[in-house]
Structure 1
Amino acid sequence: MGVSIDDVAARAQVSTATVSRALRDLPRVRASTRAKVMAVAAELGYVPSPSATGLATGRTKTVGVLVPFVDRWYFGHAIEGIDQVLRENGYNLLLFSLGGYVHGRQRSFTETMVRNQIDALVVLSLGLTPEELSQLQRTEIPLISVGGPVEGCLGVHIDDDAAATAATLHLVGLGHRKIGHLRGGTEGEYNFKVPALRNLAFERAMAAAGLDVRPEWSVPGDFTVTEGVRAAEKIFDAPGDAPTAVFCGSDEMALGLMFVARRRGIRIPEDLSVIGIDDHDFSAPAGLTTIAQKPLEHGRTATEMLLAELRGKPAAIQDRVQPFELVIRESTAPPQR
Structure 2
Amino acid sequence: MRRRALAAALALAAVLALAVAPLPVSAHVNDVSADPQASSDGTVVVETAYVADDAWLAVYADDNGSRGDLLGVRRLDGAGFRTDHPVTIDEDIWQNWPEGEARTVHVALHNDEGSGGFDREEDGVLTSFGSEAADQLVLERGAPAYVGAGAFRPQSVDGPTVTVRSARLPTDGHLVARNVTEDDGTRTPAEPVGAAALDAGAHGSITIDLNERDYEGLGDRARIAFTVYRDDGDGEFGPADEPVRIDGRTVTTFALFNLTDDSAGGGEGSDGDDAQVTTATDEDDGLVTTTTGEDDRLVTTATDEDDGQSGGTDGTTDGAGDGGEDGPTGTDGQPGFGLLVAAAALVVGVTAHARRRRT
TM bucket (normalised to shorter chain) is under 0.3
TM-score computed with the length of structure 1 as normaliser: 0.26
Q: Which of the pair has the greater relative contact order for Cα pairs under 8 Å at 6+ separation?
A: 2
More helix by share: 1
More strand by share: 2
